[in-house]
Structure 1
Amino acid sequence: MGRDDYDLESAYGYTPTEWVTIVFIVVFAVSGAVHVGQAIWFKYWIVFPTIVIGIILELIGWAARYWSSQNVLYDPPFLQQIITLIIAPVFFSAWCYTILGLAINRLGQQYSALRPKWYLAIFITCDIISLVLQAVGGGWAASASDPIPKTPTNIMVGGIIFQLVSMVAFSSLALDFMIRATKKKAWKHRQSEESMVSASENATFAGANDNASWEEKEKEKGEINGWWIVLAGTAICSLMIIIRGVYRSVELVQGWNGYLISHEVYQDTLDGLPMSLAMIAVNILHPGFFLPKRRGWRNP
């Protein structure tokens, strides 16, 4: 049964639950405030054009759902939340691309299938294409009369699927880089340690140099471990974007009268919850906690 058939009063097919919308508004507001504080304190300026914009869109979307919980007969907040919540993860994925680029620059470009600049060029371009498709489809849908035509919906689906595929490709390349970098650097450490032992057995005055070299290697090991932790946060963020992308793709393929879009639990658990976990994971596993302190806004 279609949306207009079973609930003439609601564009959703239900009335959004007030307390749920408030919970997500609070979660994104707190996480966003923490992200801003971390960006300033740790000098990770890239947070502002990526995560911060995405969280602002999430807040607009969930505020619109709260608005609908107070006046479910009014259509504009329904369209507002659809557009903003669909677009927001594009900016979260841009953060993931940037962090991987920093990791490649620091640990070694020889371990990566692509150079950092190519990661940014390729995947940011994919994000822009995805963003344009979703914005065009969403804007068209918002301006269309009810029932919403299939063409703008298909354009939005295309944008989401495009983003989903690019995120899966990015995640695979990121995992490949970290595995190769860890294995190669671990092997280099073992060779260096064996050389140090041999040198210490044959040279009386090598102790000071050996200690310095040992400290340098231990520092490098610690930084590799730090990058693993940071990229674990990036992996969680990427996985949550993928989960949400699968849900949104199926939802819009079913159409505006489909089962998923007309049942609130799926929006809350397969969009709101994954995006909340993505942002909290980056808060907790932030690079500033686990990597060497940055000397300035532009310098690592």
Structure 2
Amino acid sequence: MTVDYITLPGVTNDHVTLAPQTISIAIPTCIQTITPDKNGYVPPGTCNALYNYYPSFVAALIFSCFFGMLTVAHIWQAAYFKTKFCWVIIMASVWETISFVARTISTRNQQNVWIELISDLFVLLAPLWVNAFAYMLLARMIYFYLPTHSIFSIPASVLALAFVSLDFVSFVIQIIGGSYAGPTAPMAQQLKGVHIYMGGIGLQQFFIFIFLALGVKFHREMLKWEYTGRAKQGWKRLLFTLYASLGFITIRFFFRFIEFSGGETSSNPLPYHEAYFYALEAVPMCFAILCYNITHPGTVLQGLEAKLPTIRSLLFRKRGARKAHEELKGEDEVELVGKYVKLRKYSVSGYVELERRIREREADRLERSLDCGETDVRQ
């Protein structure tokens, strides 16, 4: 404890005269009485102790290299397959790399708060990029594979925008909580930061569960199309890759939730053993990113249909589809076929309806021709 002295100026007016006052304020301070070792380590719970264990330089270096290789691989794959939206998963890998590079440096500079804080923030927030990529990927799969380009009557573009926006909300909450819970912050502020961060990751996992429900719906729709023999290839492999990645993210979520909710007490071993951090944080995140290296979206989603339209283009398409439907009223089959490509340009739902109408007319014509044939035979 240190004592700080503050002098309050006196006040003199027509009603009262107060002499200047000097007050003392006791301020808790940290006085280091233990000499740090060559890497800056001091025992947990002592002044300036940033870790609850002796962090491993080798483990941090290995994961720095591993995430770095994943980053390079994703950059090469995105360029090779021309998948621009893969910049999101690249960001996830880059943030993990930054985190573990900073952690590697921090193991040799354990008295530097800022390096440790950078490592913590980037490792806490990197999974949000993986989530955002999963949302964008499923939206493109819906647009690429389903003739209606929608799920539960929600257009794929709207779905992507909604979930990425929700992911950003979770990101903001978690970054606020992570910044509050710095290792040198007062205990009350750290607890507040932990609670905010836990709320953020809880919200994030809630969005993932809702998203998985949409994934299951898409899965069932594709099974129906596959049964008819009209489904494009590759959807199942890519969807199971998405499931696996979100599964690894969920493992990491439960680790963080249990770690923070248990507090730094003797009954909670997670904060005091580095092995838990690597086994339940670093390894799941490696596999969550690696999944998309093994089954890269660019190997499946190819061509113009793999490009997700913007919300603005959807609005213009709806207007065009209504206009095209008006033009089609009362036209014969030849004119309908002539409008086939035109209507497809404006609206996939209109395209499906038109295809149904053409099939019905073909069936009627075939039935009439069969009836005529039977009449000829009887005659």
The interval holding the TM-score normalised by the smaller chain is: 0.7 to 0.9
Query: Where is the strand percentage greater, Structure 1 or Structure 2?
Result: 2
**Where does residue 60 of structure 1 map in the other structure?**
98
SS in 1 for 2:270: coil
TM-score by length of 2: 0.64
Q: Does 1:83 align with 2:124?
A: no
**Structure 1: distance between partners of 2:215 and 2:283:** 24
In the alignment, the residues of structure 2 paired with residue 83 and residue 238 of structure 1 have an alpha-carbon distance, to the nearest angstrom, of 21
Q: Which moved more, 1:247-256 or 1:149-158?
A: 247-256
1:1-300 matches, cutoff 5 A: 6-8=44-46, 10-48=49-87, 50-108=88-146, 109=148, 112-113=151-152, 114-142=154-182, 145-147=185-187, 148-183=189-224, 185-189=225-229, 217=230, 221=231, 223-224=232-233, 226-255=234-263, 259-289=269-299, 291=300, 293-294=302-303
Pairs aligned (count):
262
Q: 1:250 to 1:288 in 2, by over 3 A?
A: same
Please state how far the C-alpha of 1:299 moved relative to its aligned partner: 7.8
Q: Distance in 1 between matches of 2:174 and 2:211?
A: 20
How far apart, CA to CA, are the structure 2 residues paired with 1:79 and 1:256?
18
Structural RMSD (CA): 2.5
DSSP-derived class of the 1:97 partner? helix
Distance apart, 1:297 and its partner CA: 9.7
Shift of 1:298: 5.1
Q: Secondary structure at the match of 1:72?
A: coil
- Provide the rounded CA distance (Å) in 1 between the counterparts of 2:301 and 2:135: 20
Identity percentage of aligned residues? 24
- The 4+ residue runs of structure 1 with deviation greater than 4 A are 4-7, 295-300
34-43 or 7-16: bigger deviation: 7-16
Superposition deviation, residue 116 in structure 1: 1.2
Kept after mapping to 2: 8 A contact 1:15/1:72: no
Shift of residue 75, structure 1, vs aligned partner? 2.5
Q: What is the alpha-carbon distance in structure 1 between the residues aligned to residue 218 and residue 304 of structure 2?
A: 26
Structure 1 residues 227, 235: CA separation in 2 closer, same or farther (over 3 Å shift)? Answer: same
Contact 1:130 / 1:160 at 8 angstroms: preserved in 2? yes
Q: AA paired with 2:81?
A: F
* 1:273 to 1:10, Cα distance in 2 relative to 1, 3 A: same
Q: Which has the higher helix share?
A: 1
Residue identity matched to 1:99: L
Q: Greater CA radius of gyration, 1 or 2?
A: 2
Question: 1:41 corresponds to which letter in structure 2?
Answer: Y
Displacement, 1:254? 2.3
Please say if residues 164 and 246 of structure 1, whose CA atoms lie closer than 8 Å, have aligned partners that are also in contact. Answer: no
What is the CA–CA distance in structure 2 between the aligned matches of 1:87 and 1:6, rounded to whole Å?
25
Q: Where in structure 1 are there 5+ consecutive unaligned residues? A: 190-216
Deviation at residue 263 of structure 1 after TM alignment: 1.5
* Offset at residue 272 of structure 1 (A): 0.4
Q: CA separation of 1:255/1:241 partners in 2, compared to 1, >3 Å: closer, same or farther?
A: same
TM-score, structure 1 as length reference: 0.79
Q: Distance in 2 between matches of 1:292 and 1:138?
A: 36
TM-superposition CA deviations, 1:29-86 (whole Å, max 9, x none) = 11111111111111111111x1122112111211122122212233223322221111
The structure, 1 or 2, with the larger RCO (C-alpha pairs under 8 Å, 6+ apart) is 1
